[in-house]
Amino acid sequence: MLGLNVTVPHKSAVCLFLSEIDKEASYIGAVNTLVSTPEGFKGYNTDLTGLHRALLSEGIQLSGEEIILLGAGGAARAAAFLCALRGASQVYLLNRSLEKAEAVAREVNQKAERDCIRAMDLDGWKQLPAKKYLVIQGTSVGLAPHTEEAVIEDKAFYELVHTGYDLVYRPAETKFMRLVNEAGGKAFNGLKMLLYQGVEAFELWNNIKVREEDAYFCYEQMKRNWKNMRDRNNNIILTGFMGSGKTTAGIRLSYRLRLPLLDTDKWIEKEEGRTIFEIFALQGEETFRKMETSALRTLLELEGEQIISTGGGLPMREENRELLKKLEQ
């Protein structure tokens, strides 16, 4: 075996079992790519290097750049390390929770041995000099189906942006990107980051360098596939007996595909204000099955694609099976 990929929630935990960790991955404390060596597995973080190659492919340089980074979660934290390690002159880390932003800034500044990350709350941009910045959007805001949301809605903010890079790639154009374009800036989504983190892993496993024309061919294929998916509903329906792993599979698919996960049982519990057990005990199974049908009809009205995890008995009703077919179309 040449190696393997690791995804959430195991990116940090797996580090304990590795024989070696790449220096930059050790800064982040998380790996997503394992390479087999005679001593064991060596861990790398190709999310970080993949983002860098994606930025470079769009002509975006980090060295010497003043950058506004939106968010302080996992993706934004990796982007903060990338900016610090690749020579950004200043990074303004904006987040709803100033405390969380400050924690990320302290960690990155300490490990990168540079005092280049400055934490601010989400309105901190109003304090910045009126000039143009590279902005990296590192939150999940704008992810389908919530495509009409942006982490900062004020159009005055986008007058400060010469280039906006959104780590979100579903939809292909987020509201953040649209606002950047409307203000006269250039905007890119995160699809190339998805591409290049895979390219980086492939190169590590095979000890080769992928030609840029081959990477570009894959990128064009990905764009076409994304367009075809947008032209259809492409909901993913998970069915199976209770305890068969629908929730686990749904969580992993949701992360990898950046699609929302909807659980019909949890949907019903929220709507009814009762647990499934209480509904069965007080109103009976037949009433619950009708609630499942009603939930499916509501899901049909939702825009965008989602991963739908069903209750174990939901497909038993013929009406529900027909509704599931419509959700797949």
Whether 299 contacts 307, CB under 8 Å? no
Residue 265 makes CB contacts below 8 A (sequence gap 6+) with 276, 311
What backbone torsions phi and psi does residue 102 show, to the nearest 5 degrees?
-65, -35
Binning the chain into helix, strand and coil, the percentages to the nearest 5 are 50, 15, 35
Q: Is residue 221 domain-shared with residue 307, that is, in the same domain?
A: no
Q: Is residue 35 domain-shared with residue 111, that is, in the same domain?
A: no
Distance between CA atoms of residues 150 and 137, nearest Å: 9
Residue 230: what pLDDT?
55
Residue 144: what pLDDT?
67
Q: Is residue 132 domain-shared with residue 240, that is, in the same domain?
A: no
CA distances from 41 to 3, 12, 19, 91, 250 (A): 8, 14, 6, 34, 28
Residue 225: what pLDDT?
76
Distance between CA atoms of residues 222 and 165, nearest Å: 18
Residue 327: what pLDDT?
83
Sign of the torsion formed by the C-alpha atoms of 244, 248, 250 and 253: negative
Q: Does residue 294 fall inside a structural domain?
A: yes
Q: List active site positions.
A: 11
Q: Is residue 299 domain-shared with residue 205, that is, in the same domain?
A: no
In sequence order, what DSSP letters do the residues of 78-123 get, joined into one string?
HHHHHHHHTT-SEEEEEES-HHHHHHHHHHHHHHHT---EEEEETT
Domain containing 296 — which CATH number? 3.40.50.300
Q: Is residue 42 domain-shared with residue 119, that is, in the same domain?
A: no
Residue 76: what pLDDT?
92
The tens place of each residue's pLDDT in the chain, 329 residues long, gives: 899 999 877 888 999 999 999 999 999 999 999 999 999 999 999 999 999 999 999 999 999 999 999 999 888 999 999 999 999 999 999 999 999 999 999 999 999 999 999 999 999 999 999 999 999 999 989 886 678 899 999 999 999 999 999 999 878 899 999 999 999 999 999 999 999 999 999 999 999 999 999 999 999 998 887 766 554 557 888 998 888 888 888 888 888 777 888 899 998 998 889 899 999 999 998 899 989 998 888 888 776 678 899 988 899 888 888 888 888 76
Domain containing 215 — which CATH number? 3.40.50.10860
Q: Is residue 241 domain-shared with residue 222, that is, in the same domain?
A: no
Domain that holds residue 199: 3-47+193-229
> For the purposes of burial, counting CB atoms within 10 Å of the CB of 17, is it exposed (0-12), middle (13-18) or buried (19 or more)?
exposed
Q: Is residue 87 domain-shared with residue 127, that is, in the same domain?
A: yes
> For the purposes of burial, counting CB atoms within 10 Å of the CB of 26, is it exposed (0-12), middle (13-18) or buried (19 or more)?
middle
Q: Does residue 79 fall inside a structural domain?
A: yes
Hey, how many other C-beta atoms are within 10 angstroms of the C-beta on 307?
A: 21
Structure tokens at 191: 């699809």
Q: One-letter amino acid identity for 107?
A: E
Sign of the torsion formed by the C-alpha atoms of 45, 49, 112 and 134: negative
Q: Does residue 54 fall inside a structural domain?
A: no
Q: Does residue 17 fall inside a structural domain?
A: yes
- Chain center to CA of 13: 20
Q: Does residue 111 fall inside a structural domain?
A: yes
Q: Is residue 91 domain-shared with residue 135, that is, in the same domain?
A: yes
Residue 124: what pLDDT?
97
Residue 184: what pLDDT?
97
With tokens 């077919």, the residue in question is 325
Radius of gyration of the chain (CA): 22
